[in-house]
Amino acid sequence: MEKHFDQHISRQFNQELDMLRQDVMAMGGVAEEMVRDAIAALVDGDTAKAQQVIDMDDQVNEMEKEIDAQATMILARRQPTASDLRLVLAIIKTVNDLERIGDEAEKIARLAVSLADADRPRGNYVELESMANTVRGMLHDALDGFARMVPEVAVTLVREDEKVDIEYENLLRQYYTHLVEEPRKTRRVLDCIWIARALERIGDHAKNIGEYIIYLVEGVDVRHASIEELEKSVMEDRD
């Protein structure tokens, strides 16, 4: 169910809040691009694309600082209450997770550079690519849910994150087996483990954004809540 907030008497205040939300979505778009290109660089052995992702991390960091400054200014000047206050706080939390997603994408890109020169058959990163597609979908859904203020997306993200965690554990078992069977490839396998870990963390951050949507719309902190509690919260909002 899409949520809409009331407009304010002050047109300037409306514009400030709208601009803040637009900036968050722009930052989210950059984070999505970084994750996509980092994995493409890994799979294709494209060091130039990997370097582009590494360079983009500075852009994400600057965007986080700018949005934080805007949000702080609104808190100080407007002293928002109720849903407006939750919106500003949710934005501050969301951009923090987006910045961390950028950090994880940068890690993947750096590891892609170190792996690019390895003698490997094509398709050797199929499992990582599959996991990456899942977390990219989670990030996209989280940002879409944030833009439309749809709390139901949080339930979907929690379920997807559980799948990612299982996929991550399965990958670790495979990689540990490779470490035993092919000790000469230890460095390469360890790099893949770190990439899997970075993808798992991206999934966690996307799930966090979904939880912020529930806080934003309903004023309920659902961090560490069970899936049943999340579903109950969303159903109550529908009623």
- Tokens coding 80: 């928002």
Q: Is the pLDDT of residue 41 over 90?
A: yes
The residue among 188, 206, 187 whose CA lies nearest residue 131 is 206
As a whole number of angstroms, the distance between CA 167 and CA 149 comes to 29
Q: What percent of the chain has pLDDT over 90?
A: 72
CATH number for domain 11-238, candidates 1.10.3720.10, 2.60.410.10, 1.20.58.220, 3.30.300.10: 1.20.58.220
Domain ranges across the chain? 11-238
Least confident range of 26-40, 68-82, 135-149, 214-228: 214-228
pLDDT over 70 (residue 139): yes
Q: Specify the long-range contacts of residues 116-121, CB closer than 8 Å, at least 24 apart.
A: 116/41, 116/45, 116/46, 116/47, 116/50, 118/188, 120/188
Mean residue pLDDT across the chain: 89
